[in-house]
Chains A and B, each alone.
Chain A
Amino acid sequence: MRYAMAVDTKKCVGCSDCVVACQTENDVPIGYCRDWIVEVTDGTYPQLELEHRSERCNHCENSPCVRCCPTGASHYSDGGIVMVTKNKCIGCGACIASCPYDARYTHPKGYVDKCTFCIHRVQKGQQPACVAVCPTKCMYFGDLDDPNSDVSKVIKKRKYKTLIPEAGTKPQLYFLI
C-alpha cells in the first residue's frame, strides 16, 4: 500500500478551504497550518499564467525527517504515511530543519505537528478532510498500489510534477499540470 495525493492545479482556485477544513478537523490552532496555498504568476501583462497549489507534507518515501529524528517519534505508518508520535516527540526541531518543504511546525503544546493524510479518517474509509471539502474537487487521494484508486487513475491520465524532486525524497504529492 502506498498512499499518495494529487492536486489538479488547473482546477484549484486557491480558496484555502483545505486549510481551514484541516484546522477544524485536526484541532490545528489558529495561526498554524498543516496545509497551505502557493500562487505563482508568470509572464507580463497580458501574457500571463497562474498556478495554484494546495501544499502539505509530501509523505516522502525517503524522508529526511524520519531519518534524522533522534527519538523515533517521526516514523512511517500504514501506506507510507509519515507520522509523529506526540508523546515521543521532544520538540528538538531536527525534522523541521531537515524538511525541504517546510511542512512541519511546532505545536504550542510542544510537539512537532504536520499533515497526517488524515489517517484517522482514512482508516474509517473516509477521504482526508481537505480532499472532502475542496469545492473544486481538485484533490485525489488513495493507494498508488491500487490501479483503480482515484489517484492512480488521474496520474495515469494526466501530466504531473512533484516539488523539489532533486532533493531525492521521493515525494508522494503530485501536482497535475
Chain B
Amino acid sequence: MGNSRRDFIKISTLGTAGTIVGSKYLLAQGQQSILENPKGPWMMPKDLERTPTYCEVCFWKCAGWTYKNANGQIQKIIGNDDDPNSNGRFCPRGTGGVGMYFDEDRLKHPLIRIKNADGTQSFKKASWDEAFDYIQLKLEKVIEEHGPECIALFTHGSGGTYFGNLLKALGSQNITAPSYAQCRGPREVGFIATFGDGLSSPEPTDIRDTKCMVLIGSHIGENMHNGHVQEMSDAIDKGATIITVDPRFSTAAGKSKYWLPIKPSTDLALLMAWIHVLIYEERYDKKYVEQYTFGFEQLKAHVKHMTPEWAYGITTIKPQVIRETAREMSYASPATIIHPGRHVTWYGDDTQRLRAVAILNALLGSWGRRGGFYIPDKAKVPGVPHPPYPKPARTWRDAMGGKYELADLALANGVCDATVPSATTDCGIKAWIVNGTNLIETLPNRPNTLEAINALDLMVVVDTMPMEITGYADVILPECTYLERYDSLRVTQHREPTISLRMPAMTPKYDSKPAWWMAKNLADRLGKGDYFPFDSIEEELDYQLKKVGSSLEEMQRIGVKKMDRPYDDLYYKDGEEIEFNTNTGKIELYSTSLEEYGFDPMPKYTAHPEPPAGYYRLIYGRAPMHTFSRTANNPNLTDLMDENTVWVNPKVAKEWDLKNGQEVYLQNQDNVVSTFPIKVRVTERIRWDSVYMVHGFGHSKKQLTRAYGRGASDTELITNIMMDPIMGGTGMRGNFITFRFNKA
C-alpha cells in the first residue's frame, strides 16, 4: 500500500470481497503451514484444582492461583502466599483479572486490512496462515529494501520477550516500551547518576520498615502498586510518619501526618529547600555522607540561598512546615524514604527533580539501609540458547543526533520520531509490531504518533482487545489472555529472589493464540527458527527450570519458588567499603556524568509556565481499579468504575457555574477539544489552579462496548510536551485546559 493514507477502521466493518492491501506482494496463500504444538497440550496435569499464574493486569506481576468452579469455568484469582510481590493478596485489578478472559469484546480472529472496490478500507477475517503470509512478505520486503533495523517493536506485556527475540534475531534493536520515556525513565537516570544504580521494578523501597516516607505526587493507594500499598499500610500501623506533597488531596494525603498542598510544578524548589535545611541545620547523616558521597561541599554552596523562605515564595508551603518536615525525615533517618515515584515525566526537568530526590536520600543515609532502600536480589535463570544476534546497522539513537545519550533504555517516542519522515530525525523505520500497548493512548502528542503510523509499510498489532491502536493496523493478531497461556518465567527483583510460573487455566477462547507461538511461527518463516530452538514453550520452560534446580512439573504445583540469597547483603553493613558504579566510585551529590554531558551537575529550580486566565493545569493520575487504558472495558472492573470525572475546586465551579455531574468538554491550550464530554466532580480535594482526571478513559473505539465514550481521554489533551534534555522523557504536565459547554 506504499504510503497511502491509513484509515482508522472500526473492527466490526468486516469486508469480504476486497483485496488485501498490498496484495501484490502476496504469494499464494498458505505457503507454509502453521506449527502446532507437536506433543499436544504438554504436561497439563489434570489433578490441579488451581493453576499458577502471575498477573498481567499491571507491571507488578503478582503471582497467584486461578481457581475454577465445578463447571470448569474460571471462578476467581487469588494471590500466592509465597509471592513477595503480593503476599497472597491481589489488588482489585488482579482480582478482577477474570474479566479479561470473559470480556466478549475480545479480539477473536486474525484480521487483515483490505481495500474495497469503493476505495474504502476495512478488515477481513483471516486464517493464521494468511495473516502470517502477509506479515512475512511485508517484513521480507522491508528487510530487503531498507534493512532489518527498520522494524521496530513497541511492547508492554509479557509477549515482548518473544517478539523481542524475533526482532533481535532479525537484526533490529529498536525495541521499546512506553513505560520508560513516558513514565519512569527520568527516575532511573537520576538515580543512576547519583548512586550508579537505577531502581527498576518493584522499587526496592523498604517501606515495611520505614519510619518516615515522603511521597512527591506519588499517590500510593490510588496507584495500586500492590506491594507498596501493602507495606505502606503496615508502616502506618507501626506509626510511621507519612508526608505527602500533592496539589490534590490524594488518598495517600488523607492517610498522612503532613499534607503539603504544593503549587503544581514547583516540587523541585521544595526538594532543594529540604536539602538546604538538612545541610544547614546539620541534620544529615555525617558519617554516611563523609564515607560514601562525592561533592558535599559543592552541594552545600549550591543550596546556600535555597532557604525555606525562598521556597515559600515559589511553592506556597510555609517555611516552618518545610523545616518541620525536614526534621521529621532526619529524626527517622536512615529509616526514611523519599519515594522516587513511578510516573515522573512531568515538566521536562524531571531527571533533575529525581536527582534532588536521590540526593535527599543520600543525605539521610537511607540508600542501602533498613527502612530506606534495600538492595534487591534476582534469581539467575539462564536464557534460551540461540545463535548470536546480528549487529544492527543503526538504531533509533542515530536519529537523535547525539541527544539523550544518558537514556539507559530505548525511548518509545524516540522510535516514533525516528519513523516520522523528516530531514533530521528520519531513521527509516518502516514496520512496527505493537504488542499489548495502546500507543494512541500512551504516547503524548497524538498527531505525531499518527504521522509516524501513516509513514509505515506495515503495522502489526498483537493484543487481546480492540484498542484504538488496532484501528490503524494492517494486521491484527488476537492474543489469548494471560489466563490462557504460558509465558516466560517471572524473574523479578525483591528482598529474596523468586521465580514464578504462568500456565494456562483454560484453552484459548476463540481463535486467539499466545505471543510465543506467533513469534516462533514468524521466526521460522523468516529463516530465524534457530532463535526459537524448542518445539513448545513447555519444553523451553522445563529446560530453563531444570537449570535452576526445579522443573515445570514442580512449578505447576507451587507457582512461586523462593531461591537462595547467597549473601547476607540486604543492607550495607555499618562502615562497609562500597564502590558505587559512578565515575568517582562514590554517591555523586555532584554528578560528574551529567557535567560531562553538559548538564547541570546539581539540580536547579526553574519556573515553568503557568495556566493563563481561565485555564487550569491538567493533572492526571490513577484509580485503584484500573490500569492505564487497558482495563477500561473489563466487565468486572468497569463495574467498579466505568468513567472518569474532572475534579474541579468549588471556587472554580462557582466561577463557571458548574454543577456536580454536569457534562462538559475540555479544551486545551492548543484548542484541542475532548472527543467526549466528561462529568464534573466538584471537590475540595483539588487546588483551584488545577483540574484532575483519572487516565485511561474516553475510548473512541465502538467495539469497546463498555468503554466507548465513557469519560474523556487525558492523552488527547496532552499536546504540549516538555522534553527532558537529559534522557528524552516526555513531560506531560504543562497542559492547561478550560471548559466548553458544547463541542462545536
* Residue B222, interface by CB 8 Å: yes
Near A by CB (< 8 A), chain B positions 142-197 give none
B92 and A17 contacting across the interface, CB-CB below 8 Å: yes
Set of chain A residues within 8 Å of B91, measured between Cβ atoms: 15, 17, 135
Contact with B along A97-108 (1 / 0, CB 8 A): 000000000000
Interface hub of A16, A23, A134 (most chain B Cβ within 10 A) = A16
B230 and A13 contacting across the interface, CB-CB below 8 Å: no
* Residue B395, interface by CB 8 Å: no
* Residue A125, interface by CB 8 Å: no
Q: State in angstroms the CA–CA spacing of A13 and B231 once bound together.
A: 13
Set of chain B residues within 8 Å of A166, measured between Cβ atoms: none
Set of chain B residues within 8 Å of A56, measured between Cβ atoms: none
Set of chain A residues within 8 Å of B252, measured between Cβ atoms: 13
Q: State in angstroms the CA–CA spacing of A20 and B95 once bound together.
A: 7
Set of chain B residues within 8 Å of A41, measured between Cβ atoms: 249, 683-685
With known contacts A24-B98, A45-B261, A45-B688, A15–B92 Cβ distance under 8 A? yes
Q: State in angstroms the CA–CA spacing of A21 and B97 once bound together.
A: 11
Contact with A along B211-232 (1 / 0, CB 8 A): 0000000000110101001101
B624 and A15 contacting across the interface, CB-CB below 8 Å: yes
Set of chain B residues within 8 Å of A15, measured between Cβ atoms: 91-92, 221, 224, 229, 624-625
Q: Using CB atoms, name the residue of chain A closest to B237.
A: A11
Closest Cβ–Cβ distance, residue A156 to chain B (whole Å): 16
B224 and A135 contacting across the interface, CB-CB below 8 Å: yes
Choose one: A11, A43, A136; the contact of B684 (CB below 8 Å). A43
Closest Cβ–Cβ distance, residue A100 to chain B (whole Å): 25
Choose one: A20, A31, A135; the contact of B230 (CB below 8 Å). A135
Q: Using CB atoms, name the residue of chain A closest to B254.
A: A50
Choose one: B89, B232, B259; the contact of A132 (CB below 8 Å). B89
Choose one: B98, B221, B641; the contact of A13 (CB below 8 Å). B221
Closest Cβ–Cβ distance, residue B511 to chain A (whole Å): 26
With known contacts A15-B625, A21-B95, A52-B251, A135–B684 Cβ distance under 8 A? no
A134 and B688 contacting across the interface, CB-CB below 8 Å: no
Binding stretch for chain A, among B289-297, B436-444, B631-639: B631-639
Near B by CB (< 8 A), chain A positions 133-158 give 133-138
Closest Cβ–Cβ distance, residue A72 to chain B (whole Å): 29
A133 and B78 contacting across the interface, CB-CB below 8 Å: yes
Set of chain A residues within 8 Å of B251, measured between Cβ atoms: 13-14, 50, 52
Choose one: B92, B236, B686, B687; the contact of A20 (CB below 8 Å). B92
Interface range on chain A (Cβ under 8 Å from partner): 20 to 34
Q: State in angstroms the CA–CA spacing of A132 and B686 once bound together.
A: 33
Choose one: B88, B640, B686; the contact of A16 (CB below 8 Å). B640
Choose one: B98, B233, B259, B637; the contact of A11 (CB below 8 Å). B233
Set of chain A residues within 8 Å of B230, measured between Cβ atoms: 135-137
Set of chain B residues within 8 Å of A43, measured between Cβ atoms: 684
Set of chain A residues within 8 Å of B95, measured between Cβ atoms: 17, 20-21, 24, 133
Contact with B along A42-61 (1 / 0, CB 8 A): 01111011111000000000
With known contacts A17-B92, A24-B75, A30–B636 Cβ distance under 8 A? yes
Q: Using CB atoms, name the residue of chain A closest to B649.
A: A45
Q: Using CB atoms, name the residue of chain B closest to A22.
A: B95
Set of chain B residues within 8 Å of A19, measured between Cβ atoms: 92, 640
A16 and B624 contacting across the interface, CB-CB below 8 Å: yes
Q: State in angstroms the CA–CA spacing of A41 and B625 once bound together.
A: 20
B92 and A16 contacting across the interface, CB-CB below 8 Å: yes
* Residue A78, interface by CB 8 Å: no
Q: State in angstroms the CA–CA spacing of A105 and B683 once bound together.
A: 30
With known contacts A41-B685, A45-B687, A138-B233, A11–B635 Cβ distance under 8 A? no
Choose one: A10, A16, A30, A133; the contact of B635 (CB below 8 Å). A30
Set of chain B residues within 8 Å of A132, measured between Cβ atoms: 78, 88-89
Set of chain A residues within 8 Å of B259, measured between Cβ atoms: 46, 48
Set of chain B residues within 8 Å of A49, measured between Cβ atoms: 254
* Residue B471, interface by CB 8 Å: no
Q: State in angstroms the CA–CA spacing of A44 and B649 once bound together.
A: 10
12 cross-chain CB contacts under 8 A: A10-B236, A11-B255, A13-B222, A14-B221, A15-B91, A16-B92, A16-B640, A17-B624, A20-B625, A46-B249, A50-B251, A50-B254
Q: Other than the known A15-B625, A48-B254, what 4 A-B pairs have Cβ atoms closer than 8 Å?
A: A15-B92, A19-B640, A24-B98, A24-B636
Top 5 A-B pairs ranked by shortest CB distance? Answer: A50-B254, A13-B221, A15-B624, A136-B233, A24-B76
